[in-house]
Protein backbone atom coordinates (compact mmCIF):
# COMPACT_ATOMS: atom_id res chain seq x y z
CA UNK A 1 0.00 0.00 0.00
CA UNK A 2 2.85 2.37 0.82
CA UNK A 3 4.39 1.81 -2.64
CA UNK A 4 1.15 2.82 -4.42
CA UNK A 5 0.88 5.93 -2.27
CA UNK A 6 4.50 6.84 -3.08
CA UNK A 7 3.86 6.37 -6.82
CA UNK A 8 0.78 8.62 -6.68
CA UNK A 9 2.64 11.29 -4.71
CA UNK A 10 5.61 11.05 -7.06
CA UNK A 11 3.32 11.43 -10.09
CA UNK A 12 1.64 14.46 -8.51
CA UNK A 13 5.01 16.09 -7.79
CA UNK A 14 6.22 15.30 -11.33
CA UNK A 15 3.11 16.91 -12.87
CA UNK A 16 3.47 19.96 -10.61
CA UNK A 17 7.10 20.34 -11.70
CA UNK A 18 6.19 20.07 -15.38
CA UNK A 19 3.42 22.66 -15.00
CA UNK A 20 5.78 25.06 -13.20
CA UNK A 21 8.49 24.54 -15.84
CA UNK A 22 6.08 25.13 -18.71
CA UNK A 23 4.76 28.22 -16.97
CA UNK A 24 8.26 29.64 -16.52
CA UNK A 25 9.08 28.91 -20.18
CA UNK A 26 6.05 30.99 -21.22
CA UNK A 27 4.00 28.18 -22.75
CA UNK A 28 0.82 29.11 -20.91
CA UNK A 29 1.26 32.80 -21.68
CA UNK A 30 1.71 32.00 -25.37
CA UNK A 31 -1.36 29.76 -25.40
CA UNK A 32 -3.37 32.44 -23.60
CA UNK A 33 -2.31 35.12 -26.07
CA UNK A 34 -2.87 32.91 -29.10
CA UNK A 35 -5.98 30.92 -28.30
CA UNK A 36 -8.14 33.32 -26.27
CA UNK A 37 -10.64 33.80 -29.15
CA UNK A 38 -11.60 30.18 -28.57
CA UNK A 39 -13.01 31.30 -25.21
CA UNK A 40 -15.60 33.23 -27.23
CA UNK A 41 -16.00 30.86 -30.18
CA UNK A 42 -16.52 27.65 -28.21
CA UNK A 43 -19.41 28.96 -26.05
CA UNK A 44 -21.08 30.25 -29.22
CA UNK A 45 -20.78 26.85 -30.87
CA UNK A 46 -21.97 25.12 -27.69
CA UNK A 47 -25.08 27.30 -27.52
CA UNK A 48 -25.88 26.41 -31.10
CA UNK A 49 -25.22 22.73 -30.42
CA UNK A 50 -27.60 22.85 -27.44
CA UNK A 51 -30.38 24.03 -29.73
CA UNK A 52 -29.65 21.64 -32.58
CA UNK A 53 -29.48 18.70 -30.15
CA UNK A 54 -32.98 19.67 -28.98
CA UNK A 55 -31.81 20.56 -25.47
CA UNK A 56 -32.48 24.29 -25.62
CA UNK A 57 -34.81 26.90 -26.99
CA UNK A 58 -34.29 28.79 -30.23
CA UNK A 59 -33.42 31.93 -28.27
CA UNK A 60 -30.02 30.33 -27.63
CA UNK A 61 -29.23 30.91 -31.30
CA UNK A 62 -29.03 34.69 -30.84
CA UNK A 63 -26.04 34.70 -28.47
CA UNK A 64 -24.72 31.55 -30.14
CA UNK A 65 -24.53 33.13 -33.58
CA UNK A 66 -23.20 36.39 -32.18
CA UNK A 67 -20.42 34.75 -30.17
CA UNK A 68 -19.48 32.49 -33.07
CA UNK A 69 -19.03 35.41 -35.48
CA UNK A 70 -17.16 37.41 -32.86
CA UNK A 71 -14.88 34.47 -32.05
CA UNK A 72 -14.03 34.05 -35.73
CA UNK A 73 -13.43 37.80 -36.10
CA UNK A 74 -11.14 37.95 -33.07
CA UNK A 75 -9.32 34.83 -34.24
CA UNK A 76 -8.68 36.40 -37.65
CA UNK A 77 -7.43 39.60 -36.02
CA UNK A 78 -5.30 37.63 -33.57
CA UNK A 79 -3.63 35.74 -36.42
CA UNK A 80 -3.23 38.45 -39.07
CA UNK A 81 -2.93 41.51 -36.85
CA UNK A 82 -5.24 43.84 -35.02
CA UNK A 83 -4.84 46.47 -37.71
CA UNK A 84 -7.53 44.56 -39.59
CA UNK A 85 -10.02 45.64 -36.95
CA UNK A 86 -9.97 49.14 -38.45
CA UNK A 87 -11.74 47.62 -41.47
CA UNK A 88 -13.56 44.67 -39.90
CA UNK A 89 -15.15 46.33 -36.86
CA UNK A 90 -18.60 46.23 -38.55
CA UNK A 91 -18.45 42.44 -38.19
CA UNK A 92 -19.33 43.05 -34.54
CA UNK A 93 -22.70 44.34 -35.76
CA UNK A 94 -22.86 41.49 -38.27
CA UNK A 95 -22.54 39.00 -35.40
CA UNK A 96 -25.76 40.26 -33.84
CA UNK A 97 -27.44 40.16 -37.27
CA UNK A 98 -26.37 36.53 -37.77
CA UNK A 99 -27.69 35.54 -34.35
CA UNK A 100 -31.05 37.21 -35.01
CA UNK A 101 -31.27 35.66 -38.47
CA UNK A 102 -30.64 32.18 -37.07
CA UNK A 103 -33.37 32.82 -34.54
CA UNK A 104 -35.72 33.88 -37.34
CA UNK A 105 -34.98 30.79 -39.43
CA UNK A 106 -35.43 28.22 -36.65
CA UNK A 107 -38.14 29.82 -34.49
CA UNK A 108 -41.67 28.51 -34.95
CA UNK A 109 -43.73 30.63 -35.65
CA UNK A 110 -41.26 32.89 -37.41
CA UNK A 111 -40.78 36.37 -36.01
CA UNK A 112 -40.86 39.01 -38.74
CA UNK A 113 -39.32 41.54 -36.33
CA UNK A 114 -36.21 39.36 -36.01
CA UNK A 115 -35.94 39.21 -39.80
CA UNK A 116 -36.27 42.97 -40.17
CA UNK A 117 -33.80 43.79 -37.42
CA UNK A 118 -31.26 41.23 -38.67
CA UNK A 119 -31.62 42.51 -42.24
CA UNK A 120 -31.14 46.14 -41.22
CA UNK A 121 -28.15 45.31 -39.00
CA UNK A 122 -26.63 43.14 -41.74
CA UNK A 123 -27.02 45.86 -44.37
CA UNK A 124 -25.56 48.49 -42.05
CA UNK A 125 -22.66 46.18 -41.31
CA UNK A 126 -21.92 45.54 -44.98
CA UNK A 127 -22.25 49.25 -45.78
CA UNK A 128 -19.80 50.15 -43.00
CA UNK A 129 -17.35 47.49 -44.20
CA UNK A 130 -17.51 48.94 -47.72
CA UNK A 131 -17.03 52.47 -46.39
CA UNK A 132 -14.02 51.39 -44.34
CA UNK A 133 -12.53 49.63 -47.37
CA UNK A 134 -12.83 52.78 -49.51
CA UNK A 135 -9.46 53.86 -48.16
CA UNK A 136 -7.77 50.76 -49.52
CA UNK A 137 -7.14 49.43 -53.00
CA UNK A 138 -10.06 47.04 -52.82
CA UNK A 139 -12.02 49.21 -55.22
CA UNK A 140 -9.49 48.47 -57.95
CA UNK A 141 -10.22 44.80 -57.42
CA UNK A 142 -13.96 45.50 -57.39
CA UNK A 143 -13.66 47.44 -60.65
CA UNK A 144 -11.78 44.58 -62.33
CA UNK A 145 -14.38 42.07 -61.10
CA UNK A 146 -17.25 44.23 -62.38
CA UNK A 147 -15.55 44.69 -65.77
CA UNK A 148 -14.93 40.95 -66.08
CA UNK A 149 -18.51 40.14 -65.08
CA UNK A 150 -19.90 42.70 -67.52
CA UNK A 151 -17.78 41.31 -70.36
CA UNK A 152 -18.86 37.79 -69.49
CA UNK A 153 -22.52 38.82 -69.58
CA UNK A 154 -22.08 40.56 -72.94
CA UNK A 155 -20.18 37.69 -74.53
CA UNK A 156 -22.48 35.06 -73.10
CA UNK A 157 -25.54 36.90 -74.37
CA UNK A 158 -24.01 37.40 -77.78
CA UNK A 159 -23.14 33.73 -78.20
CA UNK A 160 -26.54 32.56 -76.92
CA UNK A 161 -28.41 34.72 -79.46
CA UNK A 162 -26.36 33.28 -82.32
CA UNK A 163 -27.20 29.71 -81.35
CA UNK A 164 -30.93 30.46 -81.35
CA UNK A 165 -30.92 31.63 -84.99
Each residue's pLDDT tens digit, 68-110: 999 999 999 999 999 989 889 999 999 999 999 999 999 888 8
Within a domain: residue 161?
no
Q: How many domains does the chain have?
A: 2
The string of DSSP letters for 17-28 reads HHHHHHHHTTHH
What range does the domain containing 93 cover?
A: 37-134
DSSP string, 76-97: HHHHH-GGGHHHHTTHHHHHHH
Question: Do residues 82 and 123 share a domain?
Answer: yes
The answer to whether residues 47 and 126 belong to one domain is yes
End-to-end CA distance of the chain: 96
- 115 and 59 in a single domain? The answer is yes
Q: What is the pLDDT of residues 18-56, one digit of tens each?
A: 888 888 888 777 777 788 899 999 999 999 999 999 888
Q: Could you tell me if 18 and 53 lie in one domain? A: no
Instruction: For residue 109, give the nearest of 52, 58, 148 by alpha carbon.
Output: 58
Amino acid sequence: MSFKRDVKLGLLILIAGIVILLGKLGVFGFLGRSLWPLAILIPGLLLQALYFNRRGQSTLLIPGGTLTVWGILFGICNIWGWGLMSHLWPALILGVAVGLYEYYVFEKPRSSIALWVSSILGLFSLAFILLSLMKTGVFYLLAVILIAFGLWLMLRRKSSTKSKW
